[in-house]
Structure 1
C-alpha cells in the first residue's frame, strides 16, 4: 500500500471512530430507555435528536392524534353523531358512550384526545365513513396526500393492537407537527380538564398526558399503551426561543416514557433556537443589485448563535460565528424605484424631443414649398411679359 493510500485509510478510520464516539456520547448524555425517539423543531422540522426514529413500531393510542386532526379538518364538528352498539363495545379506555346516544363530533374529539376514548374513536370513524375499515383507508390517504410519507400503516382510529397497524417516531413527529398547526387541535390538546356530561358517564375528565397538567411549557399532546407497543408518548412544548415536538416509543414503563421526554425537551431548550428572517421590509444588496424574499425564512441553529448574512450570486448565505453554513436561500431580484423613475423621465424626454424635431421639419418643409411657388409664379409673369 502506498504512503498516500495509507494516510487516507488512517484518516477514514479516525473520522469513523470520532463520529461513533460523538454518537455514543450523545446517547449516554440523555440515557434514554425508550427504544425509538425523535426530537424536532416544530417550526422548521429540523431533527435535533433521534434514536431508531425510522424503525417501524406499534403506536398504541398516539394514533388518536391523526384521528382527531382528520375529524377536525374533514368533518363538521357541529354534527350530531349517533353512537352504535359496535362503538359501545370497543375495549380499553373509554368515555362510556351508550348505544343510541347522540353526541356532537366536537365532543367526541375531546373525549378521544383527553381521555383516550376508544369508543369515541370508533364513533368518529363510523360517522365519517360508515366503518372503521373505511376510515382507516381515509387515514392512510390523509397522511400520504397532506403530510407526505409512507412508512406507516393505520388499521383503526384508536391504536388498539393490530399487527399491520404501525408507524415510526419520525412519522408521528410529522403528523403532530401538521396537527399542531391547526388552532382547534392545539386548543383541545392543551386542555387540562373538561366536564363530561354523558348518558352513561357524568364526571370531569383530565388530560391523560401528565406533563400537560404539570408543566406550563408543555402544550400537548397524547400518551399511549398496549402490551405489544409498550409505553408511547408524543409531547409538544414551547419556550420563547423554540417550539419542540418529542416522540418516544416503547418505553418499559409510563414513568420512563415521561423521564425520556423531559430529558429530550431540556436538551432541545438548552441547545437550540429557531431563527427567522422576515420576507417583508428587508432588502439585500449585492453590488448594484437588490434582492428580497418571497416568503419568511426560518431555520434552527445553536442557542444564542451569532448569525451573519451575505449575498452571493443571488442567494442569501447564512453562517454562524465559526463560518459554518447554516442555510442558503434563493432571493428575488428587484429594480430600484429611483432607477425606474429615471427611465420613465428619459422616455418622456425623448418623446418630447421627437415631437419637436418633427414640428421643426414640417415648418421648414412648408417654408420651402411657399418659396418654390413664389419663384415659380414670378417666372411665369416674366414669360408673359416678354411674349
Structure 2
C-alpha cells in the first residue's frame, strides 16, 4: 500500500515540476503597478513610460487608435536617420513645395542636406520637409508609406499604428495609439543624432528664399521651465486635437509622456506636467547587470546574460529569486513581480566546456592509439617485406 501511495506522490511531484515555472511566468507584471493616483487629465488618451525599462507607469485609453497629427514626424525623423544618409543633398520637388500646413518654405529645385530637412521637420514641423524626405527615400509619398509602416512594425515593434504620410496631415487611416507613440519615441531616443535634434530649442535657418531662426514649437522644449526636459514634438489638426510627445529625465529615471486629443493646447501641457510630476515623485529605475551571479535553492549558479533595466517605487527594497525555470524574478515589497530576467546556468557552461575538452582529449587519445596501431602493423610488415625482398635478391645472385 505504501509503495502504491509513493508511486502517486512521485507522479504528482513530476506534474507540479512542469506546471510551476509556467504559473510563475503567467503572474509576471509588465508595469510597476503602483496604486495609481487618480490624475485629472484632459486628453482622451495618455501614457507615461520609463524610457529605460519600457514599463508603463500610468495610462488612460493608451491602446485607443487616434489621429496623431504632427507627432508623426518623430517616426519620420528616426526612419530618415536610420535608412538614409544624413549628408545626402535632397532636391525639393514641386509636390513638396506645395504641401499644405506648416512649412519651412522650401523651393522647387532647391537642394537641401537630409539632416537639415530632418531639423526643419522636427523643430519647425515642416510638412514640406516631410514630403521632400519621403520622396528622396522612397521615390513617392505612397511608396514611403509602405516602407515606413513596414519599418515601424518590423523594427520598432508597433502593433496598432498605420501612417499614410510622413507629416501627420489628417487622413482617415492615419492612426496610432499613445502606447505605440511611446514605443516609437523610446526607439528613436536611442539614436544620438535624433536626440540632438529632438532637444534643439532654436536653429538658424538659411534657405533659398527664407532666412530665419527656427523656434521649437514645443513650449516645454523652447522655454525650459520644467526641470529635466530633454526633447519633444507637438501636433495639431482639427480632427486630432492637440497632441504632444515629451521626454524628460532626472537623477533616478528617464520618462516619456504621450498625450492625444486635447481640446486646447494648454491642456496637453498640463497633462504632460501632471504625468511627469507623478513619475518623478513615485518611481526610479534600477538595473540587473550583465554577469551578476545568482544561486537557486539547489545551489545551482546562474549568470545574467545582459543588462536589464526595471522600474520600482521610490526607495523600494526589492527581492531577487531564481525561479524553477531558471529565470531571475525581481519582486517588490508587496511580493508583486516587477520583471523577469533571463539567466544562463553556470554549471551548464562549465559542463559544456568540460565536455568539449573531454571530446578533444578523447580524440587525441583515439588518434594516438590509431597511430600506435598503425605502427604496430606497418613496422612488422615492412620488416617481413624487407627480409623477403632481400632473400629473393640473394637467391637471384646465387643462380647467377
How far apart are the structure 1 equivalents of 2:160 and 2:292? 41
1:52-72 Cα deviation digits (max 9, x unpaired)? 111111110000011101100
Shift of 1:338: 11
- Out of 317, 323, 332, the position equivalent to 2:344 is 332
How far apart are the structure 1 equivalents of 2:294 and 2:129? 52
The reply on whether 1:171 has 2:183 as its aligned counterpart is: no
Relative distance call for 1:312 and 1:119 in structure 2 (3 A) is: closer
**Structure number, greater radius of gyration:** 1
Give the match for residue 210 of structure 1. 219
Relative distance call for 1:337 and 1:328 in structure 2 (3 A) is: closer
Give the match for residue 155 of structure 1. 164
Report how many aligned residue pairs link the two structures: 324
Shift of 1:131: 1.0
Relative distance call for 1:119 and 1:283 in structure 2 (3 A) is: same
The reply on whether 1:264 has 2:275 as its aligned counterpart is: yes
Give the match for residue 371 of structure 1. none
- Out of 39, 42, 52, the position equivalent to 2:61 is 52
Shift of 1:286: 4.3
The 3-state SS of whatever aligns with 1:44 is coil
Shift of 1:288: 3.4
The reply on whether 1:255 has 2:303 as its aligned counterpart is: no
Give the match for residue 118 of structure 2. 109
The reply on whether 1:185 has 2:194 as its aligned counterpart is: yes
The 3-state SS of whatever aligns with 1:30 is coil
How far apart are the structure 2 equivalents of 1:102 and 1:141? 28
How far apart are the structure 2 equivalents of 1:310 and 1:198? 60
Contact kept in structure 1, 2:255 and 2:279, CA below 8 Å: yes
Give the match for residue 329 of structure 2. 317
TM-score by length of 2: 0.75
Structure 1 residue ranges (4+ consecutive) displaced by more than 4 angstroms after TM superposition: 336-341
How far apart are the structure 1 equivalents of 2:85 and 2:337? 46
Give the match for residue 306 of structure 1. 317
The reply on whether 1:98 has 2:110 as its aligned counterpart is: no
Shift of 1:319: 2.0
Relative distance call for 1:277 and 1:188 in structure 2 (3 A) is: same
Relative distance call for 1:197 and 1:318 in structure 2 (3 A) is: same
Give the match for residue 199 of structure 1. 208
Give the match for residue 146 of structure 1. 155
Contact kept in structure 2, 1:290 and 1:336, CA below 8 Å: no
Contact kept in structure 1, 2:296 and 2:323, CA below 8 Å: no
Give the match for residue 236 of structure 2. 225
Aligned alpha-carbon RMSD (Å)? 2.7
Relative distance call for 1:45 and 1:305 in structure 2 (3 A) is: same
TM-score by length of 1: 0.78
Shift of 1:337: 11
- When structure 1 is superposed on structure 2, of 247-256 and 307-316 the one drifting more is 307-316
1:309-351 Cα deviation digits (max 9, x unpaired)? 233433323222333332333421114999999xx9xxx9xxx
Contact kept in structure 1, 2:53 and 2:308, CA below 8 Å: no
Unaligned runs of 5+ in 2: 1-32, 362-400
1:108-135 Cα deviation digits (max 9, x unpaired)? 0000000000000011011111111111
Contact kept in structure 2, 1:286 and 1:312, CA below 8 Å: no
Contact kept in structure 1, 2:49 and 2:56, CA below 8 Å: yes
Shift of 1:141: 0.8
